[in-house]
Chains A and B, each alone.
Chain A
């Protein structure tokens, strides 16, 4: 990447759920235009990391910097306005609203968008996800799993974010659809967005990522280039089943 300035920086972040500590002082940074992936098994703290970055979970300790501003204590809606998009785990589309209404709902968090810009963004989603255009009047809940995931991602893109944080986009999807989704992630990066990707599907995630972090029991135990981690015997043993 030519432009190497840091968009998102997390320092010494800890999160507790009651007496249980979910994250114990993790630090990571994401540079402009990168795809960064955070891999780890169930309960490692991946989702918690995202939730606390976007302000949906309370932080016990640490600071989060976004575009040079301290967003540690900021409300989630203000974080969204700054250009951070969080596509939550399990898709969480609005089942009773139509695909179009789901997309419009994505633009709610960014009041600076004009009507024309929203229309442009919708056209952009159609280009990225032609399937959604076919289903525009349909209820979100009637889409297939893969389509719902695409809807969730494009709904997130409707706020015109700078960084997109995806929480397990491959969850519960057929392998062939997962490949589609990962191709889309590359396309979104090529549109100039920065991506923080959380995955259990480590091999797929690491193969597209610029850099990766391995999370275990609330701590980052390894970090490095995507390819390097993919070849690392420890990662292989733990996450790739080889």
Chain B
């Protein structure tokens, strides 16, 4: 283990570069558009799960309503590009900001609530958002949803092939990982983790817990909004049933399976859950039972998630258990 770690530390940059090159080559190597769409879906969910992970994994608040922020992003994009005719690239950050604003609204109860009560508030908020989308017909198209969402236009090139979305999702994903990695190492990110570990201690150290919890919610919601905005033209048709709490729990499952509080866990979780969704399609609704069983098993056998071991390289490799250290010394 120690040898792998040293190897990784040494060639960190090369590893990132190779990974990046591989990810650039993928869309040219994969012929079938369908498979590429799957990969796009995985990447999209990876960022969405990542945004939820910022809330659940790093500040320890259990948000169940990520589908709501996702919904806001998707509808903002669809409505503004289709009805108003704004460019996708302007709408993208706008969707994030709007989602963050709603995130602030949802997070206000967190000043008083915690644990399961907070979870219920987020769950309710998610449903309220979806129902607004379902009933506010002039803007959201009501139950019929919004069809034929305009494709983004990049310097005259109309982006409609999965290949293009691959790069959009890749860019958003990399940006998300990079920015979040930096934020987590900043004062704000460290304050989130301090709150997750022990709120009273964080307070005694002068962390403004209420403000930090709000910014945490807003940050998570912001990225969910961004990814929602990219999702709308990708599927080209959105309606409120795509944003039920099932979607929210699906994303939660990704975070839990991959490992809360790790940057790469949600990516693995997204890949596993999406692949399972596709391969278990023949089971129809029974596949939700399989998810449930997987989550229960995860909680039982590996509550920290697949990548959640704090000593793994993927989890950051920063924290080592005493045992590992002593083993390392012996070598």
Contact = CB atoms under 8 A, between A and B. Distances in A.
A76 interface: yes
Contact of A94 (B193, B310, B320, B325): B193
B197 A94 contact: yes
B187 A108 contact: yes
Interface in B187-222: 187, 190-191, 193-194, 197-198, 200-208
A154 B237 CA distance: 56
A92 B206 contact: no
Interface in B302-323: 310, 318-322
B194 A94 contact: yes
A137 B320 contact: yes
Given A101-B318, A138-B325, A92 B193 contact: no
A77 B208 contact: yes
Q: Which of A97, A104, A108, A110 has the most CB of B within 10 A?
A: A108
A105 B206 contact: no
Interface residues of A, number: 33
Contacts of A220: none
A109 B201 contact: no
Interface string B99-117: 0000000000000000000
A126 B319 CA distance: 19
Nearest to B191: A108
Q: Which of B198, B206, B207, B325 has the most CB of A within 10 A?
A: B206
A88 B320 contact: no
14 contacts: A56-B204, A76-B203, A76-B206, A77-B206, A93-B201, A94-B194, A97-B197, A98-B319, A108-B202, A108-B207, A110-B206, A137-B318, A138-B321, A155-B205
Interface stretch (A63-71, A79-87, A181-189, A202-210): A79-87
B205 A108 contact: yes
Contacts of B319: 96-98, 101, 137-139
Contacts of A109: 205-207
A92 B187 CA distance: 20
Contacts of B202: 105, 108
Contacts of A155: 205
B190 A92 contact: no
A86 B325 CA distance: 31
A93 B200 CA distance: 10
Contact of A156 (B198, B205, B208, B325): B205
Contact of B198 (A56, A92, A101, A106): A92
Contacts of A139: 310, 319-322
Given A97-B319, A101-B318, A54 B204 contact: yes
A105 B186 CA distance: 10
A142 B310 CA distance: 12
Interface string A122-156: 00000000000000011100100000000000011
Specify the main secondary structure of chain B where it touches its partner: helix
Contacts of B190: 101, 104-105, 108
Contacts of A175: none
A142 B206 CA distance: 25
Contacts of A75: 208
Nearest to A86: B204
A96 B193 CA distance: 9
A88 B310 contact: no
A80 to B, nearest CB: 3
Contacts of B200: 56, 88, 92
Interface string A34-54: 000000000000000000001
A18 interface: no
Given A96-B310, A101-B193, A108-B190, A87 B322 contact: no
B190 to A, nearest CB: 6
Contacts of B204: 54, 56, 76, 80, 86-88, 92
A233 interface: no
Nearest to A81: B206
Contacts of A81: 206
Q: Which of A98, A105, A111 has the most CB of B within 10 A?
A: A105
Contacts of B187: 108, 111
Contact of B318 (A92, A98, A105, A142): A98
B194 to A, nearest CB: 5
Given A54-B204, A94-B201, A96-B310, A108 B320 contact: no
B197 A95 contact: yes
Nearest to B207: A108
Contact of B201 (A79, A92, A96, A110): A92
Interface in A153-170: 155-156, 159
Nearest to B188: A108
Interface string A187-216: 000000000000000000000000000000
A138 B197 contact: no
